[in-house]
Amino acid sequence: FVPTFTKGINYVGLYFNLSCLTEDELFYADILSDILGRVDTSERGYEALAKDINMNLGGLSSDITAISKDGKRDEFTPLMIVRAKALHSKLPDLCRLINEVVKKADYSDDSRLTELVQESKAIWDNEA
């Protein structure tokens, strides 16, 4: 918690330590960060989820990053960060949606996963 004046907007970041993953597994974690919030959940389909996110949040994103361990320049801890922002009055919705996206995601739709991975690959190819 950082007590900063934000004009009624709540900024939330959940940090997940990924140091238990191998280097190869971190690649898949990066893919997961790209598709988080874009698949069905046990509650509903991804289109209804996207509409709820757009109606109640100012944004929801996830990313993979690394921080140095104890100030050492050559040792890092990999992290997945899930970020969201919403007006203070929408904080319960923010918490509900993050919980749904992180804990209730359904990755069983192979065609949807293929579509999202191909989309991510096209973006990566354009950035290279």
Please give the domain boundaries of the chain with CATH numbers for all domains.
Answer: 9-127 (3.30.830.10)
CA 86 to each of CA 24, 52, 97, 104: distance values in angstroms, whole numbers, following the listed order: 34, 12, 11, 21
- Give per-residue pLDDT as tens, 108-118: 999 999 999 99
Whole-angstrom Cα distance, residue 7 to residue 41? 32
pLDDT tens track for 62-107: 999 999 988 788 889 999 999 999 999 999 999 999 999 999 999 9
- In the predicted model, what is the mean pLDDT of the chain? 94
Q: What is the phi-psi region of residue 59: left when phi exceeds 0, alpha when psi lies from -120 to 50, beta otherwise?
A: left
CA distances, 20 to each of 24, 25, 58 (Å): 12, 9, 32
Amino acid found at 10:
N
**pLDDT-based confidence at residue 54 (cuts at 50, 70, 90):** very high
